[in-house]
Structure 1
Amino acid sequence: MGLEKLLYLQGVGASYSDYSGRLVHHSQAERLGLLACLLANCTQPKFHLDDLSPDGFVAANGEAIEERNFDLDVAPWQRPLATFQFACLTEPSFILSLPAEMQPDLRVRILTEGGTQLEMSIPFAALERVGDYYCEPHLYYRYRVSIAPYLTQGQSLPMGYHKLSVGFCKGTLDGKSKLNTVAIDWQTEGHHGTWLLAPPKAKQLRETDKPWGVSIALYSLRSDSQWGIGDFGDLGALIAWLGGYGCDFIQLNPLHALGDSFNLEEAYISPYSPSDRRRLNPLYIHIESVPEANEIAPLLQTLALDRERLNRDNWLDYPKLTQLKYRLFVALYQVFSRDVLGSGGPREQAFMQFVAQEGEALSSFCQLEADKAQAQGEQMAADPQLHSYLQFVAHEQLIACQHQALAAGMSIGLIGDMAVGVRGDGAEVHHNRDAYCQQASIGAPPDDFAPKGQNWGLTPPDPIAMAQSGFSHFIALVRSNMRYYGALRLDHVMALLRLWWWPSEPQEAPGAYVYYPIDTLLAIVRLESMRSNCVVIGEDLGIVPDEVRAKLSDGGIYANELFYFCKQGEAFKSPQDHRADSLMMLANHDVPTLLAWWSQSDLHLKRQLELLESDQALEQALERRDGERQQLLAWLEANGETASLEEDYLLLLSAWVTVAARSHSRLFSVQLADLCCERHGVNIPGTWQEYANWQRRLPYSLTSLRQSPSIKRLLRSIVEGRSSAEASEQFCRAGEHLRQPVFSR
């Protein structure tokens, strides 16, 4: 009983429903590996983790198990006030724990985040009992204490992280005069905690809006002005172009700092395996927009040929572009150090304010980046303040892009993407070691696609440490991402409830789900969303428990639909049957482009990469795809597209986009790669070095795309499907100056 209870309290799941709906049970022995990972950082009590058989573990850790169970289960009932709790702004209340024999009247003090202090007296008779716990020989009760009845007329509580204090009155509160004379010595007699008051829903779109946008991998954009990789200057050009067509948003891949830029052996380039999600990838800095750029004009001219060579390639050359851009970064920083630092001017003040605001999280990141650069022999990048400067510049440029998008008339602007996790050797884990479990990694359970499951090599956060720290890191993480965007997509949003963990040792050890306090995490997300004026989209593709979908919907988190998977039986769903409160994406980075899907080239590539193990498996996959192609044609015909489409892909694409844009979903996006008929995907799931993931550039420059009549027609189809007549007129005005095509039907 003691071991099973500890497994439960630590959040290690005992069973789950797999992709086929089958209930899979885990034995104690299978779960002990993950329990050991969770207990590795526990020093009080200290566990012996050499023998992970159930009997051996209990024999070696009997007292420690009992003590840990007490700390996690009994102790919270003995504390009158939790160190962190939340309530909904519409029904402000808090939970109080007391021994059954205690029935005191209460004195409550609330110090709001803004500095306003409220005090009130609440009689014990007003408390609502909501739970009980017996630990021999004591019985404890939990009570809900409602605040609203004790607010004076005109008083209201703001949303935020408030300081809550509770004291117990001596005697009985039997009259109004007595209520106002109760005195509490808060320092010696008070019980204190953080009280989060969250709005009932995250930021919501207007009911009448049906925004649409274009999704991109920023690094894939091409222009003559970049230095081998798409940058914030290219993002600005894309905003200027699409903003004129009534586009509501640009949906981005994660822009997190990848870290360890000069480590060619590991080649950290996946935007979903970052070093630190609170920092930006400096490679996205647009050089010519940096105020110091005018002073390095001779160097820019000297390196013009290197830039031209890098810009010609269809695949990113990270080693060369990193060396080139850091050479420019160092030159810019030298000008900044010479002309700005010490000047007392507004740019120095803005830099110093940024550094102070970001605090230790920034300084820790910059020191680690400098240390790793020095370890790789890159002395030019071994100054921590260089990295502070680059983060400052990237921060300014991304904020400027969002301002530009809103000024261009986009209703949302930029939609960011926050990766589900980080690498264990990165700055985020380095700065928050106690918040992460470095003996495990996260991934996905076995399924039809990956019979052995998936290991993403990302370090999981420790749910117990998360709660004990008052969720400070999670709050900072969400806040630091939302500040840049009009909407934020949470990758693998199921992580708010559970993550699939794999123990690091031994290699073949079984995995299981570890659970997180979803209600508290969602309350934080809702609050930060409203504060940042940032809509939230939860990537809920794959196996999602019903309880997660319900909680996300109740909390105003928009779902994420992917066209390929949006089916009912063997048919694609009618656009009117798409989930209303969702983002419908025609495709994303983990599935083939529309052209690759239709031409079946993605299946032949999978066979080439041995993701399909035999020619027979390829033939079976091709046969299934033929059936899906016919389902698509039937779907198009059922929705009014009766032309012969099978032999003309551009006609098919136009029909596809036209019908899909009528989706009942609140938000709709299409990849820029699909608008320009790109065949190559940016990522092939299940591969690492077998395919050049996260390195493919678009086949055409932004200038070429802007001139294409075929893209103009596709955009018009989206506008007509999503927007009002006024937006369609706006589109027509924007398109008057377009020139001849670089590619067209």
Structure 2
Amino acid sequence: MDWQNDALRELAQIYGLQTTYRDAGGQRRQVSEQALLATLQALGAPLAGPDDVPDALRQSHLEQWQRCCEPVTVAWEGQPVHIELRLPANLSNSRVNCRLKIERGTTKEWTFDLAQLPPVAGTTIESVDYQVKQLPLPGKMPQGYHQCFITMPGFKCQSMIIAAPPKAYLPPDETTKRLWGVFMPLYALRSKHSWAAGDINDLEQLLRWTQGLGGNTVGTLPLLAAFLDEPFSPSPYSPASRLFWNEFYLNLNAIPELKLCQPARDLLKSQALQKEIAALHNAPLVDYRWGMAVKRQILELLARYCSGTPGREAALQSWISANPAARDYARFRATMEKQHAIWSRWPQRMYNGVLQAGNYAPSTERYHLYVQWLAHEQIDALSKQARKRGPGLYLDLPLGVHRAGYEVWRERKAFAREADCGAPPDQLNTAGQNWEFPPLHPEGIRQQGYRYYIATLRHHMQHAGILRLDHVMGLHRLFWIPRGLAARDGVYVKYRAEEFYAILALESHRHQTLLVGEDLGTVSPHVRASMDRHKIYRMHILPFEIRQIPSQGPHPPPARSLAALNTHDMPPFAAYWSQEDRRNRLGISRFLFRKGWLAAPTSNQRKVFKGCLKHLAASRARVLLVNMEDLWLETAPQNIPGTTQEYPNWRRKARRDIEEFTRLPGVLKLLQEINRLRKGRVLK
């Protein structure tokens, strides 16, 4: 019946669901009733089927108006601030007591007569009249996260105030200095001394070499903790945690204990282990499971040895005291190993977050604490080196976390565990995409004051001079796929974008981190407008522009953008160029010739690649990122979206090792030219 559909649409709107959306082809798609009901259930709406919609709608309206104030309020610097109060009409003219607890510790208290404020809205719910009034907050508010407590007879509520600058951090020389750097996944970066894959020492070598050529940054894929045994999930975009690092990338030679721990040194020198290391090194693909098992043998010995070295043990314990979540994470990982099961299969008490002695082996807990401390030490040293010649490391914050991951267990109210994130059907993925990790719950994260989201940002920003925000559209809305439904049947769910932007702006200033939003594909205009308003850099990936090539050439990169020829989800430039249609190849070739980047129009792969890279280097884009593998015209991609067993995603090592490619005359000459163009005059 129509009234039932109307009620369902109204309930969906209250919960932030889009009942229709436009697909990649611009066609309007209607979301099915089944998908709406399933998504509402995933959000916690009180319904089991269509017949429950009227009661759920009534209850939702009632809860909306009985919520005295929103749990989060944004206070943009330089703008008036108020808290919106929803009150029964008989209380709307009361005096309220207000207490504002500033993040740094001071407190302000005052009373206010609500009779002075005119109502801005109102309604009647179940014979009770309600009014909305906007309670002003006095004075200039310092930047930070503050708590405002409001009490009156029979009512009390509180709201976290995010007092933030309206714009994200921008370097002081942002308008005069154009940066450049190189990019390579750390697992693919190999050296003569690497084991199963590249490690932090290899990344440091790449950084120093890039800085020596005049570059400012080195970028890589997420370096976050991963499940590399059971379960096995090496994808950097489905980490075991967004709050801890992956010990797979530790540089063992930089660990002080290795020089003193004789059992570890003996094991490392043993013929058996050296044979395993050689096999891992020579393999064309990264073997994460075997590589981690070999490295862990050494790390476990060092973890035990460290307890007997007073200075280092004191440093470890000091770090644990300053990072209490590390112990919780270590016990979580240790419990998984003892139980031989993911947390959703644990006994009830442990499932509910309570771990006790006996649930895990103390030696395993210590191992995970020790390796996280080492990872922090090594990444911190690397980031300090990176900041000597520019903004620092370019790190990547993935959108989600593995369903069996630490945070989904510990912060479960922050997640909608009965849904997955994904993408609707498009030309490349006609069935849609299911990324198989749970989305953040829009209200769950607000009720916890965005605690988890803030922690993930801080974990990255303390080391990153530039931070890429994966799928930046997720600040506004995410495509949810309720459990049991196909990806094509998903629903867009809205988030409080303003609150995300306030947190991003505040944290970026505190850490002096430049933000880059991954805004590729079908992006609503209002998303890019918001990015521009808050000074979050866009991504300008040339092949996306070439596909819509106008007569005068591809669109020029915006000044506030990161420019590149591709991403980790795309074919390298050589493969892209060989697959591009003749019309577009001719168009870009002629464009490069007109601009002086080619001596004559040509379809020659190497010449066009150099011309495209020089075009971006001379542009006004303030950051240029060069994919190292493009420099020797690699054709194999690192990842093919939508594939699992069909292609070895996240496993392919670079064809050339760091000792080789850093000495290639052609590579050196081209990057020197890129540096000259970046330091020179901007060419329109």
TM-score (norm 1): 0.82
Change (3 A) 1:508 1:663: closer
Residue number among 298, 301, 304 corresponding to 1:334 in the alignment: 304
Q: State the match for 1:262 in structure 2.
A: 229
Q: In the alignment, does 2:59 pair up with 1:89?
A: no
Change (3 A) 1:189 1:37: closer
Report SS of the residue matched to 2:435: strand
Cα distance in 1 between the residues matched to 2:233 and 2:277: 22
Give the partner amino acid of 1:36: Q
Cα distance in 1 between the residues matched to 2:504 and 2:70: 20
Cα distance in 1 between the residues matched to 2:119 and 2:530: 25
Report SS of the residue matched to 1:202: coil
C-alpha contact (below 8 Å) 2:237/2:399 kept by paired residues: yes
Q: In the alignment, does 2:332 pair up with 1:368?
A: yes
When Rg is computed on C-alpha atoms for both structures, the one with the higher figure is 1
Q: State the match for 1:162 in structure 2.
A: 146
How do residues 8-23 of structure 1 correspond to structure 2 at under 5 angstroms?
A: 8-23=13-28
Q: State the match for 1:356 in structure 2.
A: 321
Cα distance in 1 between the residues matched to 2:205 and 2:629: 16
Tell me, which stretches of 5 or more residues in structure 2 are unaligned?
Answer: 1-5, 342-359
Change (3 A) 1:301 1:439: same
Cα distance in 1 between the residues matched to 2:657 and 2:487: 46
Change (3 A) 1:647 1:476: closer
Give the partner amino acid of 1:28: E
- What's the offset of the Cα at 1:666? 1.9
Residue number among 221, 240, 248 corresponding to 1:253 in the alignment: 221
Q: In the alignment, does 2:239 pair up with 1:274?
A: yes
Change (3 A) 1:91 1:108: farther
C-alpha contact (below 8 Å) 2:83/2:136 kept by paired residues: no
Cα distance in 2 between the residues matched to 1:255 and 1:128: 53
Q: In the alignment, does 2:649 pair up with 1:693?
A: yes
Q: In the alignment, does 2:374 pair up with 1:393?
A: yes
Q: For each residue in 1:383-422, what CA deviation from the matched residue of structure 2 results, as whole angstroms up to 9, or x when unmatched? A: 1121111111111111111101112x1x211011111112
Q: For each residue in 1:629-673, what CA deviation from the matched residue of structure 2 results, as whole angstroms up to 9, or x when unmatched? A: 222212211211342574654333322211221122221111111
C-alpha contact (below 8 Å) 2:247/2:372 kept by paired residues: yes
Q: In the alignment, does 2:59 pair up with 1:67?
A: yes
C-alpha contact (below 8 Å) 1:683/1:693 kept by paired residues: yes
How do residues 325-724 of structure 1 correspond to structure 2 at under 5 angstroms?
A: 325-339=295-309, 343=310, 345=311, 347-360=312-325, 362-375=326-339, 383-407=364-388, 409=389, 411-507=390-486, 510-567=489-546, 569-571=548-550, 574=553, 577-600=556-579, 625-644=581-600, 646=602, 648-724=604-680
Q: State the match for 2:258 in structure 1.
A: 293
Cα distance in 1 between the residues matched to 2:301 and 2:439: 38
C-alpha contact (below 8 Å) 1:571/1:635 kept by paired residues: no
Q: Bigger CA drift: 193-202 or 394-403?
A: 193-202
Q: In the alignment, does 2:107 pair up with 1:117?
A: yes
Cα distance in 2 between the residues matched to 1:384 and 1:708: 45
Report SS of the residue matched to 2:536: coil
Cα distance in 2 between the residues matched to 1:299 and 1:529: 44
Cα distance in 1 between the residues matched to 2:557 and 2:644: 34
Cα distance in 2 between the residues matched to 1:427 and 1:593: 34
- What's the offset of the Cα at 1:507? 4.9
Give the partner amino acid of 1:93: V
- What's the offset of the Cα at 1:94? 2.1
Change (3 A) 1:124 1:11: closer
Report SS of the residue matched to 1:443: strand
Change (3 A) 1:112 1:446: same
Q: For each residue in 1:365-399, what CA deviation from the matched residue of structure 2 results, as whole angstroms up to 9, or x when unmatched? A: 3223223334559x999711211111111111111
Report SS of the residue matched to 1:274: coil
Q: For each residue in 1:144-195, what CA deviation from the matched residue of structure 2 results, as whole angstroms up to 9, or x when unmatched? A: 4444xx54xxxx4320011223456xxxxxxxxxxxxxxxx9xx98653321
Q: In the alignment, does 2:201 pair up with 1:233?
A: yes
Report SS of the residue matched to 1:697: coil
Give the partner amino acid of 1:277: R
Report SS of the residue matched to 1:256: coil
Give the partner amino acid of 2:223: L
Change (3 A) 1:380 1:87: closer
Q: Bigger CA drift: 501-510 or 540-549?
A: 501-510
Q: State the match for 2:163 in structure 1.
A: 197
Q: Bigger CA drift: 300-309 or 239-248?
A: 300-309
Q: Percent identity?
A: 30
Q: In the alignment, does 2:167 pair up with 1:211?
A: no
Give the partner amino acid of 2:527: V
Cα distance in 2 between the residues matched to 1:470 and 1:647: 55
Give the partner amino acid of 1:366: A
Cα distance in 2 between the residues matched to 1:506 and 1:166: 43
Tell me, which stretches of 5 or more residues in structure 1 are unaligned?
Answer: 169-184, 601-623, 726-745
- What's the offset of the Cα at 1:529? 1.2
Cα distance in 2 between the residues matched to 1:641 and 1:509: 44
Report SS of the residue matched to 1:214: strand
Cα distance in 2 between the residues matched to 1:505 and 1:23: 24
Q: For each residue in 1:25-81, what CA deviation from the matched residue of structure 2 results, as whole angstroms up to 9, or x when unmatched? A: 224344112222222xx7xx6x4x3xx4x3x444xxx5455324422x2222xx1x4
RMSD: 2.7
Cα distance in 2 between the residues matched to 1:493 and 1:559: 10
Change (3 A) 1:509 1:305: closer
Cα distance in 1 between the residues matched to 2:587 and 2:648: 32
- What's the offset of the Cα at 1:462? 1.5
C-alpha contact (below 8 Å) 2:549/2:555 kept by paired residues: no
Cα distance in 1 between the residues matched to 2:149 and 2:302: 51
Cα distance in 1 between the residues matched to 2:116 and 2:507: 32
Cα distance in 2 between the residues matched to 1:590 and 1:216: 13
Change (3 A) 1:290 1:133: farther
Cα distance in 2 between the residues matched to 1:475 and 1:241: 33
Q: State the match for 1:606 in structure 2.
A: none
Report SS of the residue matched to 1:513: strand
C-alpha contact (below 8 Å) 2:182/2:219 kept by paired residues: yes
Cα distance in 1 between the residues matched to 2:302 and 2:552: 53
Give the partner amino acid of 1:246: G
C-alpha contact (below 8 Å) 2:589/2:603 kept by paired residues: no
- What's the offset of the Cα at 1:352? 2.1
Residue number among 285, 291, 294 corresponding to 1:324 in the alignment: 294
Report SS of the residue matched to 2:208: helix
C-alpha contact (below 8 Å) 2:392/2:465 kept by paired residues: yes
Cα distance in 1 between the residues matched to 2:485 and 2:476: 26
Change (3 A) 1:130 1:716: farther
Change (3 A) 1:645 1:371: farther
Q: State the match for 2:353 in structure 1.
A: none
C-alpha contact (below 8 Å) 2:590/2:601 kept by paired residues: no
- What's the offset of the Cα at 1:330? 1.0
Cα distance in 1 between the residues matched to 2:561 and 2:651: 29
C-alpha contact (below 8 Å) 1:575/1:660 kept by paired residues: no
TM-score (norm 2): 0.89
Cα distance in 2 between the residues matched to 1:573 and 1:269: 43
Q: State the match for 1:6 in structure 2.
A: 11
Q: For each residue in 1:531-584, what CA deviation from the matched residue of structure 2 results, as whole angstroms up to 9, or x when unmatched? A: 121111110111111222111211121111211102484349757722221111
Change (3 A) 1:94 1:631: same
